[in-house]
Amino acid sequence: MDRSTALHLLIVPAVAVAVAAVSRRRGWPSPLILVLAGLVLSPFVPGYALDPEIVLLVLLPPLLYSAAVDSSYLGLRVVRRPVLLLSVGLVLFSTLAIGWVTHLLLPGLPLAAAFALGAVVAPPDAVAAVAVARRLGLPRKVITILVGESLFNDATALTAYRVAVAAVVGEGITWLGVLGQFLYAAAGGAVIGLALAWLLSKGLRALRDALVENTVLLLTPFGAYLAAELVHASGVVSVVVAGLYIGHRMPRSGFGTRLMSRTVWKIIDFFLESIVFALIGLQMWPIVEAIDWAHPLEPAGMALAVFATAVAARVVWVVPALHLPRLLSRAVRRHEADPPSWRNVAVISWAGMRGVVSLAAAFAIPEDFPERPTLLFLTFTAVIGTLLLQGLSFPALIRRLRISNEQEAFADDLAEAAAQQAAASAALARLDELVADGIVDVHEEVVEQLRMRAERRALTAWERLGGGTGSGGEETPGTVYRRLRREMLAAEREVLVRFRDERRIDDEVLRRAMIEIDFEEATLGRD
């Protein structure tokens, strides 16, 4: 590796992180700002072409795994029908629609090659949509549907893409073979991911070592992906299933594992997402250079047609897909008492932003593939068009429709307070049992402190319902306690740091003391 390449490998991630940091501080949608920054910088780093192997083997598995761990397995079960209709049905419908339009625009392009482009452009990347949705307070059900779609739609699209490419290069395929390949990829990936996650859960439970557990969990997405791909199953499904299982079992892990895992994966998500969206914009120059611009209106017109088809196909599919099952099935009507809100349907219809997986699949197209430069250009413009048009207008749409999760947030706070109350009651009952049975010999003062600590957690949850204020607007006792305790902890830190600076304690002693203070402050939460 020469110094210029090494410099690019350092500068681009550094710039991406800096742009993302500024966006977060300003409250801007960082994925979209990173794409714009990449577009601006693309002429200055013309050799920064996307390596599909890096995306599919290095960037995609940890991002999918992290999203799956943070998802709710139980929540996805509730919305499994719309998720299936979007992640499988919509992807196949979009593949056919975009493929037919591309074939009409390029009559000399084989139909299978046109469908390959359709499969490349078909899967939306919901990272940007979900980031905006959470910040603006969309209902949980809508977010769960969007997350579930983004977790599984890549598997459908990549399978369709491989079948289409195989048809172009002359490999014999049949409809039955296509169906069998799809079922094998999905089922094989699910089995491998579930088996790997189950084995890891059993093994890690015996370790009870947070550092080792999180190190193994860092390798899990790569192991799940490669294990499935080695047997020609879906690595995407394998990673997602493993992440869902481990995330569902994570509450039974040790507290150290959970605390460390949350921090580690937040850093990984921030870093990789910053790089991914910057890379999308950086592809502009090498792609545009490969196009013959003798007649500029021709590629521009094709790009507009493919982009419009991708957007329209989602709207055309989503509206009936979310309503027709209720009209056709009595069982669905019994299971889902309320029909889908038209506002939620509108938001889901517009959340069709494409991402780096589409570009990676396009760059993986063989060099001798028919019209490869044109297909790369059409993919790039569809990705950029959906990210900028839909991404920039998405917040305005949510505000325009006046969609809010305020009632849901209040219900969550109420449910949490009730759960905390029940948990505190169980803790106090256990304490009474231990003291009454004489299992432990403790002073009454210790017992009283334990009682106060258990009751304080439940009280904090109830106070949160009132925003941390009492009936007259004054601070509640819990809010006052947390504010004063934070001031006390800050004073403790200042003394410890001063002792270190005066060489009265070693850095190792400082770190050990700071850990205890940091953990206590973390337990105070936020007002």
pLDDT in tens, 286-321: 888 888 777 888 899 999 999 999 999 999 999 888
Pair (359, 374) in one structural domain: yes
Q: Quick one: average pLDDT of 28-54? A: 85
Decide if 45 is inside a domain: no
Q: Helix H segments across 137-252?
A: 140-168, 175-207, 210-230, 235-249
Scored b (16 or more CB within 10 A) or e, 233-248 reads bbbbbbbbbbbbbbbb
Query: Rounded CA gap, 112 and 451, in Å?
Result: 70
Output the CA torsion sign for 476, 477, 479, 484: positive
Q: Which of 360, 382, 404 is the last residue of a domain?
A: 404
Q: Is the pLDDT of residue 114 over 90?
A: yes
Pair (239, 332) in one structural domain: yes
Greatest mean pLDDT among 264-268, 433-437, 470-474, 481-485: 264-268
Q: Which of 59-68, 128-137, 193-202, 228-237 has the lowest mean pLDDT?
A: 128-137
pLDDT over 70, % of the chain: 90
pLDDT tens string 9-24: 788 889 999 999 999 8
Q: Note the pLDDT of residue 245.
A: 95
Q: Note the pLDDT of residue 268.
A: 94
> Closest Cα partner for 447 from 439, 457, 435?
435
Q: Note the pLDDT of residue 239.
A: 96
- Residue 449's pLDDT band (cuts 50, 70, 90): confident
Query: Rounded CA gap, 518 and 513, in Å?
Result: 9
Pair (389, 489) in one structural domain: no
Q: Which of 404, 421, 448 is the last residue of a domain?
A: 404
Pair (367, 424) in one structural domain: no
Pair (517, 421) in one structural domain: no
pTM value is 0.86
SS3 44: helix
Pair (185, 299) in one structural domain: yes
- Residue 368's pLDDT band (cuts 50, 70, 90): confident
Q: Note the pLDDT of residue 93.
A: 96
Residue type, 287: I
Pair (248, 105) in one structural domain: yes
Decide if 415 is inside a domain: yes
**Which DSSP symbol is given to 283?**
T
Decide if 42 is inside a domain: no
SS3 486: helix
**CB atoms closer than 10 angstroms to residue 281:** 24
Q: Which of 4-8, 54-58, 394-398 has the lowest mean pLDDT?
A: 4-8
Q: Note the pLDDT of residue 471.
A: 52
Looking up residue 73, the CATH number of its domain turns out to be 1.20.1530.20
Greatest mean pLDDT among 41-55, 280-294, 301-315, 329-343: 301-315
Decide if 269 is inside a domain: no
Q: Note the pLDDT of residue 525.
A: 65
Pair (350, 391) in one structural domain: yes
Question: In Å, what is the CA distance from 144 to each residue of 82, 149, 408, 469, 470?
Answer: 10, 8, 14, 32, 34
203-211, long-range: CB within 8 Å, 24+ apart, which pairs? 204/253, 204/257, 205/252, 205/253, 208/254, 210/254, 210/256, 210/257, 210/259, 210/260, 211/260
Residue 176 in tokens: 């039955």
Q: Note the pLDDT of residue 38.
A: 92
pLDDT tens string 120-164: 999 998 666 666 666 777 888 888 899 899 889 999 999 899 888
**Boundaries of domain holding 514:** 469-527
Query: Rounded CA gap, 165 and 418, in Å?
Result: 55
Pair (429, 400) in one structural domain: no
Q: Note the pLDDT of residue 5.
A: 63
Query: Rounded CA gap, 332 and 349, in Å?
Result: 21
Pair (442, 297) in one structural domain: no
Helix axes 297-328, 342-350, angle to 10 degrees: 150
> Closest Cα partner for 88 from 162, 148, 133?
148
Q: Note the pLDDT of residue 102.
A: 95
Print the SS3 string covering 107-155: CCCCHHHHHHHHHHHCCCCCHHHHHHHHHHCCCHHHHHHHHHHHHHHHH
Decide if 272 is inside a domain: no
Decide if 44 is inside a domain: no
- Residue bearing the bigger pLDDT, 269 or 445: 269
Cβ–Cβ < 8 Å for 221, 239: yes
User: CB-hemisphere CA count at 13 Å for 130?
Assistant: 21
Decide if 349 is inside a domain: yes
Q: What is the mean pLDDT of the chain?
A: 85
Question: In Å, what is the CA distance from 132 to each residue of 24, 32, 138, 353?
Answer: 12, 10, 9, 12
pLDDT over 90, % of the chain: 37
Q: Which of 445, 465, 485 is the last residue of a domain?
A: 465
Pair (132, 250) in one structural domain: yes
Query: Rounded CA gap, 91 and 424, in Å?
Result: 47
Q: Note the pLDDT of residue 85.
A: 94
Backbone angles phi, psi at 195, to 5 degrees: -65, -45
| H or E, element range at 303 | helix 297-328
Task: Report the alpha-carbon angle 86-88-93, nearest 5.
Answer: 80
Q: How many domains does the chain have?
A: 3
Q: Which of 17-21, 279-283, 363-367, 416-420 has the lowest mean pLDDT?
A: 416-420
Question: In Å, what is the CA distance from 53 to each residue of 60, 229, 376, 525?
Answer: 10, 13, 16, 42
Q: Which of 220-229, 252-261, 277-286, 453-462 has the lowest mean pLDDT?
A: 453-462
Pair (324, 410) in one structural domain: no
Decide if 432 is inside a domain: yes
